[in-house]
Amino acid sequence: MRAIIQHRYGAPDVLAVEHVDQPEIGDDDVLVRVAAAGVDAGVWHTVAGKPYLLRLFGFGFRAPKQKTPGRDVAGHVTQVGSNVTRFALGDEVFGTTLEGSFAEFTRVPAERLALKPANVSFEQAAVTPISGCTALHGLRDAGRLAAGQRVLVLGAGGGVGSFAVQIAVAMGASVTGVCSTDKVEFVRSLGAAQVIDRTREDFAAGPGGYDLILDTAGHNSLRRLRRMLSRRGTLVIVGGEGGGPLLGGFGRSLRALVVSAFVPQRLVGLMSEEDLPTLEALAALVAHGSVVPPVDRVFPLERAGDAIEYLHAGRPLGKVVVKV
């Protein structure tokens, strides 16, 4: 099969299409013929090997252990393990793989897959698992969001942010989104009650009092964000964006944990996982039409490096896809 392979860390130009063996599945696995693969911020980090802390978490210190990037996947079931009862050959599925989705086939544990909602394309399904689960965990679990609360989403025009705006609205919240000028109308179309253009207006100059702030951007200090919270409000820091080459945004999450012990507000560094109940909850929101997975651009497999560069530059309105 064809797959994107990287033999060393670096810029996306280290990626190349190679012919490799089709993966073999175990008793609890599913073999998926990949139709589309989502591109998320984590893909850039694992290709670049930054922050360096990632290399200590089993990704490989000098070179990547997993040679094919990508985790988000959507496609058809072509083979099922002997213990798998939830899926049959030909089923359309989406979820996350641990062995690389930038390939024609990938092996996926059955517990990491759900049936694709019939009302969306493979491209839309492929961008949903990581960003959607992260947004839902951040709002529902870490943020403890309730209907009627006020939510501020920083980075509202990006991957996680665009899902977060829609999910928060579906949960009955009043959402303010912060984004760049070119994304204002896009964020408004997602259902945000108010949109702040960060290039023209300082969101921290407003009245504040938010019950929940979901920060996907990583550009503001904890003190600055806390000033915009209500006295018992919650700040959820998403992902490892910002920071230096060693810890990246994880250093900020660690500081949030320490500060949270001494203030009335809750400061949470989110570590999200794409578990099956959350994936199925997302599928229900998508099937209902409450969440529409936002696809900005689709790249062919041969241009996977360009897709990663486009995402890392911060240009997408929502999500980017690699079509296989």
Q: Please tell me the least confidently modeled range out of 20-29, 48-57, 66-75, 117-126.
A: 48-57
User: How would you classify the pairing of strands 295-300 and 319-323?
Assistant: parallel
Spatial CB neighbours of 16, under 8 Å, sequence gap ≥ 6: 4, 5, 6
156 has pLDDT over 90? yes
The confidence score (pLDDT) of residue 240 equals 57
User: pTM of the full predicted structure?
Assistant: 0.92
Q: Mean pLDDT throughout 232-261?
A: 71
| 58: confidence class by pLDDT, cuts 50, 70, 90 | low
Whether the CB-CB separation of 34 and 1 falls below 8 Å is answered with no
Cα–Cα distance measured from residue 261 to residue 315, given in angstroms and rounded to the nearest whole number? 37
**Tell me, what's the pLDDT at 168?**
99
Q: What is the pLDDT of residues 86-117, one digit of tens each?
A: 999 999 999 999 999 999 999 999 999 999 99
In the structure encoding, which two tokens stand for residue 137, read together? 């965990």
Has residue 255 got a pLDDT over 90?
Answer: no
Residue 254 corresponds to which tokens in the numbers above?
A: 């660690």
Question: Pick the residue with more confidence: 54 or 276?
Answer: 276
Q: Summarize the confidence of residues 12-28 as an average pLDDT.
A: 96
Predicted confidence (pLDDT) per residue in 270-303, tens digit: 888 889 999 999 999 999 999 999 999 999 999 9
pLDDT of the residue at 55 = 63
Neighbour tally for 2: CB within 10 Å: 15
Q: Which residues pair with 174 in a beta bridge?
A: 150
User: What is the pLDDT confidence band of residue 254, given thresholds at 50, 70 and 90?
Assistant: confident
Read off the pLDDT of each residue in 62-88 and give the average, rounded to a whole number: 95
At residue 230, what is the residue type?
S
SS3 126: helix
pLDDT of the residue at 242: 58
Distance CA 95, CA 111 (A): 9
**Can 2-128+293-323 and 131-270 be said to share one CATH topology?**
no
- The average confidence (pLDDT) of the chain is 92
pLDDT digits (tens, 9 = 90+) for 204-224: 988 899 999 999 988 888 999
As a whole-number percent, the residues of the chain with pLDDT over 90 amount to: 77
Query: Phi and psi of 307, rounded to 5°?
Result: -60, -40
Which tokens hold the place of 156?
């509202």
Identify the CATH assignment for 2-128+293-323 out of 3.40.50.720, 3.90.180.10, 3.30.559.10, 3.90.1150.10: 3.90.180.10
Averaged pLDDT, 168-188: 98
Map out the domains of the chain as residue ranges: 2-128+293-323, 131-270
Strands 229-238 and 266-270 come out as parallel
> What 3-state DSSP class applies to 138?
helix
| Model pLDDT, residue 292 | 98
Instruction: Give the DSSP per-residue string, 100-166.
Output: -SSBSEEEEEGGGEEEPPTTS-HHHHHTSHHHHHHHHIIIIIIS---TT-EEEEETTTSHHHHHHHH
pLDDT of residue 122: 99
CATH architecture label of 131-270: 3-Layer(aba) Sandwich (3.40)
User: Using 50, 70 and 90 to split pLDDT, how confident is the model at 63?
Assistant: confident
